[in-house]
Structure 1
Amino acid sequence: MRCARLTRPLAALAALLLATQTQAANDAFDWGADLRLRQVFIGNVGFNSDSPTAERNFQRYRARLWGGYEIDPGARLDARLVWEGRHYLLPTPGDWPLPGFERNYSGGVLFDRLVFTLEEPGGLPLTLKLGRQDLIFGNGWLVFESSPFDGSRSIYFDAARATLALAGDTQLDLVYIDQSADTGRFPQALNGGVEDQIEQHESGVILYARNRALIPGADLDGYFIYKHARPNDTPGNLRFNNGYPFTSPADSGDVYAAGARIDTPLAERWRLRAEGVYEWGTRNGRDLDALGINTRLTLDLGDGLDSKLHLDYEYLSGDDPDSTGDQAFDPLWGRWPQWSELMIYQWPLETRVGEASNLHRANLGWIAQLLPSTRLTLDYHALWADQRSTRSAAQLANISGAGDFRGHLFTAWLKTRFNDHLAGHLMAEYLQPGDYYAAHRRDNGYFVRAELTLSW
């Protein structure tokens, strides 16, 4: 019965794909589809090998179907349906600490894109987008992901966006966001059911300016971001997504952020990317005063493999335990695996899923084009905490309070494209925890993933 539940949404999407293909041929719609298959192994979640849920072994099946229709020149409607199911080999339902674990998880069929676009209304150099859409600014450090609970199934925002093209190769974006904490708001899942996407309802404003002319070959960005969080209260802070229940507390308050970003050539074969942001406001009844810095220096080695070396440094301020205020950096809409899939599962030891904060990260990496269709990335990250803060119950239980070294992280990622319709990757991560974590949280962790993606 559960296997049938797992395959019904995929069958429905396949039928819709065939119908759309026929319609597209008749009415000149443009459309596309993809199917992503993943096998995931995770070892020692929580850095504790004695935990009954430390080992994870599961498959993910994601199918997407999208189409667009040009209503008039400059007016367009785009939609995309997504479904993702999972099958868990480990952990078993009996080992999960809360009832409701689904070994065969059949998620919702929902729209993660439903947006109306209007270009150059009245002849103005303006583009308007209204509805469910993806938003990515810069390299996605602060604005990329609104739904961290569903783990790359979707990254959508419910938003209105106006993009104004100005003289001098300058672009100005004004965005209003109104995001529900779950999938219960229109457009709801087509096969029923409501899932949590994040702990709180969020609204906000983004004002983002970008210039590509002041420095040849460079991007210069400046921005202001406002985010308001209103808790989605559930009994015991219980959340549900990906087939299992878990607890995660909600945020409340108002965060303001002002920042700047540059991505520029420095000299022959050298390039610098640097971004800094200051945050203030209130969070959970405390005054916020936080800072973040994210940098990358890249050297093109100029060899036959098109290989590059990069050196990164990232700083996210931590909460000073001697202060009544809150200095912990808020990643805003950046709760996604920017540099580590494994750490996504470890952040709840002190914050929440994907919520990176209180961090110094030094990274040395190498990227090479081994074949025209195959690329290899190798990275080493040294991780420290900015503060030894143990304010919350989770921090008191999981953080030693005696050291600030988070650990050594090694990552490898091999990506390849077999043909126009088939691509895949293999990735692996290994982390040796340091003395920042409590004594029972120092078992080595690993993450391994294999993926195939078929696209049309």
Structure 2
Amino acid sequence: MNSSGHATRIALALGLAVSAATSGANPGHEPGTVSSFKPGADLRLRQVFIGNVGLNDQSPIADRTFQRYRGRIWGLYAPTEQIVGTARLMWEGRHYNKPKADQWPVPGFETWYSGGLFFDLLEVAFNDIAGAPLSVKLGRQEIVLGNGWLVLEGTPLDGSRTIYFDAARATYKAASIATTFELIYINQDATTDRFPRPLNGVIEDQIEQYETGVILYARNQGLLPDTELDGYVIYKDSRPDNTPGNIRVNNGAPFPSPPDSGTAYTIGVRAESKWIPNWTLRGEGAYQWGTRNDADLDAFGFNARATYHVQDPRTSRLHLGYEFLSGNKPNHQGTQAFDPLWGRWPQWSELMIYQWPLESRVAEATNLSRLNLGWATQVHPTTLLTLDYHALWADEMTTRTPAQLVNLSGESRFRGHLATAWLRTKFNSHLAAHLVAEYLWPGDYYAVNRRDESYFVRAELNLSW
């Protein structure tokens, strides 16, 4: 389709819609309300410092210092209580102080980077169809299931700029059995070169492969007191994008990120309960089978956390967590490395997003055993402080590709110690900020030249209207 055709479709879509928003990433609209039009906007400003990407301080591109500027505008149009249109237009640019362009090993690195101007939300929701408790949402949308362990991030290569899915989502609420059923179809393009294409013509990679998925998800809130029980089946088919140089230059990725191929099936259960006073307990487990990259897939993952609410004036809480993601067994047929599906986002570490490519891909956590102890407290009515310690191991002494084996020592499965701290504050409904700091002491799992200590620091200011 020519550019005028795209513009016409965009104009028609805008006539239907757009997104209500919070200062976060998930604009929404509650059924039962009518708003002729509701506009909004936000601006996210970030300063980032990273030390020793790749855990080798001799590399000229090991250290990163850069700024990120993301602006978004949106609107909401609800002609009736049953029809809600959403759309959001966004742009993000970056400026790199480190590394310099002449230090980058591959030509084309841009210290000033201007990304695409495009719609990261463009959806229409139909609620209470024919008077039934059925809703359908069509178009570019954000999808978070459970705690986002396996389904949250549809565009992992752009580093939290967007998280959208091009999808169709049907939701049925069976009140008589306190259960919600969802059927979701996902069709993700490897690049932004599809409708709605960037208005400024900048085409970028969002994922390494083309992806198709189907999710059947059920959530029950009545079987056990104060307990949410989820069950799901997920189908994911991946087709490689073999376009050369499929990593956006503004990511500053020093390692290749190979595409996936194959068909994977995942079946899982999740529970979250508050039936014990002062405690919140949650756990999720999933089994996978099928094929991945010309090998039979047979993998398992588990994630759990227990949180104790102290009930003090600062609403403090302690939490203890454990996560296990299976890894490939050496000299074993097939692949046992757990596929995080659409869970490639910084669930527990911003820093490790940049270190995973040593053995897998950008933000692809797998082959992991993680023990976590943490504490959170309201240091001020507007401000939350969270401190965490993670002890990290590998399940197996293997990597995604044979070329990555040079990054491992073969001596130990201990990945290292990771400490993280978050200070989040919300001054008012229009202004929020955070400061995050992380430090990694690498273990003997990594090769001798990959054991230099690493850190991550980020300051963020978020303005919303």
| Short-chain TM bin | over 0.9
Query: In 2, distance between residues paired with 1:115 and 1:242?
Result: 28
Matched-pair contact (CA < 8 Å) for 1:425–1:451: yes
User: What is the percent sequence identity of the aligned residues?
Assistant: 61
Q: Identify the residue that residue 363 of structure 2 maps to in structure 1.
A: 354
The aligned runs of 1:9-408 (5 Å cut-off) are 28-166=36-174, 167-235=176-244, 238-242=246-250, 247-390=256-399, 392-408=401-417
Aligned-partner residue type, residue 219 of structure 2: R
Query: Any idea what SS the aligned residue of 1:346 has?
Result: helix
Alpha-carbon distance change, 243 to 99 in structure 1, aligned in 2, over 3 angstroms: farther
Matched-pair contact (CA < 8 Å) for 1:100–1:244: no
Query: In 2, distance between residues paired with 1:270 and 1:134?
Result: 30
Query: In 2, distance between residues paired with 1:408 and 1:282?
Result: 33
- Superposed displacement of residue 241, structure 1: 4.7
Unmatched 5+ residue regions in structure 2?
1-13, 19-34
- Superposed displacement of residue 77, structure 1: 1.1
Alpha-carbon distance change, 302 to 391 in structure 1, aligned in 2, over 3 angstroms: closer
1:180-233: CA deviations, max 9, x gaps?
011001101110021000100000100000011112221100000000000011
- Superposed displacement of residue 396, structure 1: 1.5
Alpha-carbon distance change, 283 to 75 in structure 1, aligned in 2, over 3 angstroms: same
- Superposed displacement of residue 392, structure 1: 2.1
**TM-score (normalised: structure 2):** 0.91
Matched-pair contact (CA < 8 Å) for 2:360–2:400: no
**TM-score (normalised: structure 1):** 0.92
Aligned-partner residue type, residue 403 of structure 1: S
Q: Identify the residue that residue 11 of structure 1 maps to in structure 2.
A: none
- Superposed displacement of residue 245, structure 1: 7.0
Matched-pair contact (CA < 8 Å) for 2:110–2:249: no
- Superposed displacement of residue 391, structure 1: 6.3
1:414-448: CA deviations, max 9, x gaps?
00111221110111000000000000000000000
Matched-pair contact (CA < 8 Å) for 1:238–1:245: no
Matched-pair contact (CA < 8 Å) for 2:370–2:391: yes
- Superposed displacement of residue 73, structure 1: 2.9
Query: Any idea what SS the aligned residue of 1:352 has?
Result: coil
Query: In 2, distance between residues paired with 1:339 and 1:266?
Result: 26
Aligned pairs, number: 431
Matched-pair contact (CA < 8 Å) for 1:150–1:241: no
1:77-116: CA deviations, max 9, x gaps?
1100111000000011011111111111001111000001
Larger strand percent: 1
Query: Any idea what SS the aligned residue of 2:446 has?
Result: coil
Query: Any idea what SS the aligned residue of 2:136 has?
Result: strand
Query: Any idea what SS the aligned residue of 2:102 has?
Result: coil
1:21-47: CA deviations, max 9, x gaps?
xxxxxx941121100000000000011
Matched-pair contact (CA < 8 Å) for 1:78–1:116: yes
**Cα root mean square deviation, aligned:** 1.5
Query: In 1, distance between residues paired with 2:40 and 2:271?
Result: 34
1:282-307: CA deviations, max 9, x gaps?
00110000000000011111111100
Query: In 2, distance between residues paired with 1:55 and 1:130?
Result: 42
1:363-416: CA deviations, max 9, x gaps?
000010111110000000000000011562342210112210000000000001
Alpha-carbon distance change, 127 to 375 in structure 1, aligned in 2, over 3 angstroms: same
